[in-house]
Structure 1
Amino acid sequence: MISQDTETPASLDDVKGWFPKVDQLLFTWFLERQERREQHGDLVELGSYLGKSAILMGRHLREGETFTVCDLFDSDAPDDSNQAEMNGSYATLTRRAFESNYRAFHERLPEIVQGPTSLILDHVEPETSRFVHVDASHLYEHVRGDIQAAHVMLPSGGVIVCDDYRSEHTPGVSAAVWEAVAVDGLRPICVTTQKLYGTWGDSGAVQDELLEWLQGQDDVWHEVQQVAGRPLIRAKGKAKAAAKPNDAAKLKKRLAEAEKRLARADDRLARAQHELDSVRNSASFRLGRAATALPRVLRGK
C-alpha cells in the first residue's frame, strides 16, 4: 500500500504516473478546442492510477459538467486474469492516494466509481460525454469493452484517447484499438509514443486545426502518414538541448567546487616551492652540493 505520509504534490510533475509532456500538451489542446467551440459534455476516465491525467482533465471541467473516474482502486478485480495484472503492476494503488493527489489541485473530487470499468454505463448516460480517456486494463476483452462503452458515451464529435495502444507488453490493447478502427468506424486523429487520439466523427477538421497548432510548437516534432487511405498525425516530444534551470545551478556549484580545489592545490604548490627554496639556500645544502661537485678523480682517491 502507498504510504500516506508522502508530501503533497506541488506540481503535476510531482505526481507519480506515466503521462509524457507531449500528451499533456495534446490533452490540453483537445480540451481547450472543445471549450473554444463551446462543445459541452462530461469528462470520463477509465483507469486513473494516482491521478496524474485526471488532475489535468479536471482543470477543464466547466459549470454543469460531470467528471467521472472509474477504477478498481482497492477493490478486487472481476476475474483472475485482471487480478493477476493488478497484483503485478498496481499493487500500490489506493483510492486514498488518488484522492489526496487530486485534492492538492482541485477543491472538489470527481465522481468516483470504484469497481471494474464494465460498470461505467450504469453511471454515465449515452452521448453525454465529450472526452473519454481509456487507461484501465491491458487485457483485450476489457479494453474492447471500454472502447465500446466510450462509443456509447461519446457523441459523434467526442474524443477518445487510448493509452498503451502500441507497447510490446500490451498487445491486447493494440488488438482492441485497431479492431475499433477497422471494424467499428473509429477514426484516428493522431498518435504519440503512448496514446492514440480518435473520434467517431469528422477527423479531418480536427486534424487541420491540430496541424496548424503543431506548426508553432518548438518542442513537438510531427509528421503526417497515410494509414488505410486516411491521414494520421504522428507527434513526438523533442529533446531539449538547453539545460534546465536546476541543471545550470548544479553546474555552477560543481564549477565553484573545482575552483576551490584548484586554489587549494595552488596553495600547496606554493608552500612546497617555498620549502624547497629554503633548503636550497641553507649552508648544509650548499656544502653538500660543493662536495658532490668535486672532480671525479679526487672523489675516487
Structure 2
Amino acid sequence: MTNAQATDTYPGELADVPGWFPPLDQMLFTWFLERQQKQGMRGDLLELGVYMGKSAILLGHHLQDGEKFTVCDLFEGDAPDGANQAEATKSYASLTQQAFERNYLSFHDTLPTVIAAPSSVVSEKVAPGTCRFVHVDASHLYEHVYGDIGAAHDILMPEGIVVLDDFRSEHTPGVSVAAWEAVLNRGLRPVCLSTQKLYGTWGDPEPLQEELLDMLRQRTDVGLSVQEAAGHRLVRARSRGMKPPPFPPSRHYVAPVPASPPAAPVAESRAARPARPAPSRARRLAKDLLPPVVTRAVRRARAQRS
C-alpha cells in the first residue's frame, strides 16, 4: 500500500476520492447492502477507519430511513500506543477530519456520526446488536484488529456482515492472524474473499453464498473459485478488468466538454487548381521539329530524373 495524497479540491466522482477501494469491493459492498435491503433487513452501519471517505461515501448511499451511520477514526488525534502512533504517522499523515468531511459532504447532505478516537471506544458509542454491516479498516496491528473484531461481533445483528480489510496483504500480517483466528476460534464464518477483503458473518453463510455464487457466475469480469478449508467453504473472487459499479456523481461534478469533431477534408475541384502555364513558342517549335525518337529519349531522361 502506498500513501495516497490528499488534495484540497472537491471530488466530482467517487474515483476522485483518494483511497484503496477496488472496483471488485465496490461491487461486493453494493451487492451485500442491496441484498439486505431486498430482504427487508434494517439496521445501522459502522465503519472503523475511514481515511478520505471513499468506502464511507458508498456506505452512506445505502443508508435507509431511520438507520444510523457511524464512522470512527483517529484523524489528527493521538493514538493509544506508540506502535499505533507510528503506523498512523507513516501511512495516514495526510488524513484530517476536515478532508474526510469535505469529501463526504460532496456526495451527501449530512455527515454520519463521527467518532474522532481510537476504535477501541466504539463499543461504548454503538449499542450491541444494532448494525447490519460493519467495515473494519482501522489499525493493522494484531492487538487492535483483535479488539475491532470482538467489537464487530457484539455490535452486529445475528445475520449481519463484517468486512475485514487487508486480511492477506504482505505488509499487514497482524490483520491476517486476527482474521483467521476469528474464523478458527471465534465463530466467524467466511462468506467470500476478495483480493483485499474478507466478508464474513456470525450467522448462517450458506444462503448468502448460494446467492452470491449465482450472481458471480453470471459475470464475465470476475474470476471465481471455491475451496474447502478447516470445515469452511471459501468463495474466492478476483477482478478480471472489472469497472466500478455506477455511482451518482457529487454536487461538484462538471461534465467533460465533448471534443470537437475533426474537420472534414476539403475536396479540391478541378476548377480550383491553378492553370498550367502555356508552353512557350520555342518549346512548341522544338517539339514539332524534333524526330519522334529524340522526343521519346527526352521523355525517358526526364522520367529518370524525377
Structure 2 counterpart SS, 1:156: strand
**Amino acid in the other structure paired with 1:19:** F
Residue 171 (structure 1) aligned with residue 156 (structure 2): no
Query: Which runs of at least 4 in structure 1 moved beyond 4 Å after TM superposition?
Result: none
Structure 2 distance, partners of 1:224, 1:139, is 29
Question: How big is the alpha-carbon RMSD for the aligned residues of Structure 1 and Structure 2?
Answer: 2.7
- 1:168 to 1:142, Cα distance in 2 relative to 1, 3 A: same
Give the unaligned 5+ runs of structure 1. Answer: 242-248, 257-301
Give 2:114's aligned residue. Answer: 112
**Counterparts of residues 146-225 of structure 1 (less than 5 Å):** 146-225=148-227
CA distance in 1, matches of 2:194, 2:202: 19
- In 2, distance between residues paired with 1:151 and 1:142? 14
Which residue number corresponds to residue 260 of structure 1? none
What does residue 95 of structure 2 align with? 93
Listed as ranges, the matches of 1:18-57 within 5 Å are 18-57=20-59
Offset of residue 240 of structure 1: 6.2
In structure 1, how many angstroms separate the alpha carbons of the residues matched to 2:62 and 2:115?
20
Per the alignment, residue 269 of structure 1 pairs with none
Distance 1:148 1:240 in 2: 33
**SS state of the match for residue 96, structure 1?**
helix
Q: Paired residues, what number?
A: 253
Shift of 1:229: 2.3
Deviation at 1:227, TM superposition (A): 1.6
Query: Residues 6 and 52 of structure 2 are in contact (CA less than 8 Å); yes or no, is this contact kept in structure 1?
Result: no
Cα deviation 1:98-135 (Å, max 9, x = unaligned): 00000010001000000000010111100000000000
Native 8 Å contact 2:192 2:235 kept in 1: yes
How far apart in 1 are the matches of 2:216 and 2:63? 24
2: CA distance, partners of 1:188 / 1:86 = 29
Percent identity between matched residues is: 58
Output the TM-score relative to the length of structure 2: 0.77
More helix per residue? 1
TM (normalized to structure 1)? 0.79
Return the alpha-carbon distance in structure 1 between the equivalents of residues 66 and 233 of structure 2.
35
1:99-138 equivalence runs, <5 A:
99-138=101-140
CA deviation after TM superposition for structure 1 residue 218, in Å = 2.2
**Partners in 2 of 1:5 and 1:209 — Cα distance?**
41
Name the aligned partner's letter for residue 173 of structure 1.
V
Task: Evaluate the alpha carbon distance shift between residue 75 and residue 219 of structure 1 in structure 2; reply closer, same or farther with a 3 A threshold.
Answer: same
Q: Deviations over 1:122-170 (max 9, x none)?
A: 1110000000000000000000000000000012200000000000100
Q: Deviations 1:23-77 (Å, cap 9, x if unpaired)?
A: 0000000000100001111000000000000000001101111000000011111
Question: Is 1:5 paired with 2:8?
Answer: yes
SS state at 2:115 partner: strand
Structure showing greater relative contact order (alpha-carbon pairs closer than 8 Å, 6 or more residues apart): 2
Separation of aligned partners in 2, 1:207 and 1:143 = 25
**SS of residue in 1 equivalent to 2:101:** helix
Which residue identity lines up with residue 175 of structure 2 in the other structure? Answer: V
- The whole-number CA distance in structure 2 between the counterparts of 1:39 and 1:186 is 20
| 1-structure distance, mates of 2:240, 2:7 | 35
The answer for unaligned runs of 5 or more in structure 2 is: 244-257, 263-306
- What CA distance in whole angstroms lies between the structure 1 residues aligned with 2:135 and 2:126? 14
Query: 3-state SS of the aligned residue for 1:157?
Result: strand
In structure 1, how many angstroms separate the alpha carbons of the residues matched to 2:151 and 2:232?
A: 25
